[in-house]
């Protein structure tokens, strides 16, 4: 079984980002970048399937500038066998990314495509579902458990009311939720080995798909600020404030 794992380079999850002063965008000067946490979970799941003997090859792929090679190397260090960078300077939206990935699926014919459910920058939660639509495959989103059973994947999904289990035909698209697994740390020897693994660079233009953005960001502003609150000394004070000042309990 061949697994394709699309990943994304994003701002590290510990960074608290701010809009630029002129509100033209998000201020990303000198901030730490990392592999999107959900993508890391997807890589980990692929590696576990390979370790279990279910998968034979793991290909990591990303769409972005040459700086994204750093995150592909991270995926290689975690256990991916080879990587593909589809290079572009355009800030590609989920629909465009899905079109590029469909092009990669056509070239590589993977049996399973594992992605993170959401990138923590745009918080869109779209790419997996769009890729499923474009490839005509079934989708199992927000996965907290994945089992390959013959020609099907049995996936437990995190849904609003609890958990839902579905069975989908392979090839299929699976998007990882937080509790699918806990990713490992790359060991130093594996980080060194990753530098020798193949990393192909393809120009996005050669895939012949439309990646022009459909959305224009008019401005990026800070969220409304909450007024600073007060510290109460006792539970009695708290109950009194909630009853008589905030009037939210009776």
Footprint (CB under 8 A) of another protein, residues 1-30 = 11, 13, 16-19, 26
In the complex with another protein, which residue's Cβ is closer, 161 or 189? 161
Query: Segment near another protein (CB under 8 A), from 50-58, 134-142, 184-192, 194-202?
Result: 134-142
Nearest-angstrom CA–CA distance, 74 and 216: 31
Contact residues for 187 (Cβ-Cβ < 8 A; gap 6+): none
CB of 2 to another protein, least distance (A): 19
**Residue 41 in tokens:** 């979970």
In sequence order, the β-bridge partners of residue 155 are 146, 166
* 137: contact with another protein by CB under 8 A: yes
Nearest-angstrom CA–CA distance, 48 and 1: 13
**Residue 20 in tokens:** 């630029």
Query: Segment near another protein (CB under 8 A), from 45-53, 56-64, 189-197, 229-237?
Result: 229-237
In the complex with another protein, which residue's Cβ is closer, 79 or 94? 94
In the complex with another protein, which residue's Cβ is closer, 193 or 243? 243
Closest CA to 42 of 132, 140, 109: 140
Query: Segment near another protein (CB under 8 A), from 46-54, 55-63, 71-79, 216-224?
Result: 216-224
- Residue-by-residue DSSP string for 153-210: EEEEEEETTEEEEEEEESSEEEEE-GGG--PPPPPHHHHHHHTTS-EEEEEGGGG---
CB of 97 to another protein, least distance (A): 11
Residues contacting another protein: total by CB under 8 A: 82
**64-103: contacts with another protein (CB under 8 A):** 93-95, 98
One of 12, 57, 145, 158 touching another protein (CB under 8 A): 158
CB 60 within 8 A of CB 68: no
CB of 76 to another protein, least distance (A): 26
**168-197: contacts with another protein (CB under 8 A):** 168-169, 172, 177-179
**Range 153-160 contact pairs with CB under 8 angstroms and sequence separation of 24 or more:** 153/112
Query: Segment near another protein (CB under 8 A), from 49-57, 61-69, 129-137, 195-203?
Result: 129-137
One of 36, 71, 139, 181 touching another protein (CB under 8 A): 139
In the complex with another protein, which residue's Cβ is closer, 66 or 124? 124
Q: State which H helix or E strand residue 62 sits in.
A: strand 57-64
Question: Whole-angstrom distance between the N-terminal and C-terminal Cα of the chain?
Answer: 61
């Amino acid at each position: 079984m061949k697994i394709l794992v699309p990943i994304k380079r994003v701002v590290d999850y510990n960074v608290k980002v701010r809009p630029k002063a002129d509100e033209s965008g998000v201020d990303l000067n000198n901030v730490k970048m990392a592999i999107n946490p959900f993508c890391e979970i997807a890589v980990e799941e692929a590696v576990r399937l390979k370790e279990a003997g279910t998968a034979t090859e793991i290909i990591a792929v990303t769409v972005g500038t040459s700086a994204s090679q750093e995150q592909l190397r991270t995926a290689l260090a975690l256990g991916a066998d080879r990587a593909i960078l589809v290079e572009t300077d355009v800030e590609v939206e989920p629909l465009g990314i899905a079109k590029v990935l469909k092009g990669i699926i056509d070239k590589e014919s993977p049996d399973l495509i594992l992605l993170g459910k959401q990138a923590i920058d745009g918080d869109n939660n779209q790419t997996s579902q769009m890729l499923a639509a474009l490839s005509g495959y079934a989708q199992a989103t927000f996965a907290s458990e994945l089992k390959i059973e013959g020609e099907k994947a049995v996936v437990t999904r995190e849904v609003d009311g609890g958990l839902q289990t579905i069975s989908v035909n392979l090839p299929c698209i699976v998007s990882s939720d937080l509790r699918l697994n806990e990713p490992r740390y790359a060991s130093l020897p594996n980080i060194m080995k990753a530098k020798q693994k193949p990393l192909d660079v393809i120009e996005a233009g050669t895939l012949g798909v439309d990646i022009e953005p459909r959305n224009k960001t008019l401005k990026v502003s800070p969220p409304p600020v909450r007024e600073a609150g007060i510290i109460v000394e006792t539970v009695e004070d708290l109950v009194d404030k909630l009853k008589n000042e905030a009037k939210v309990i009776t």
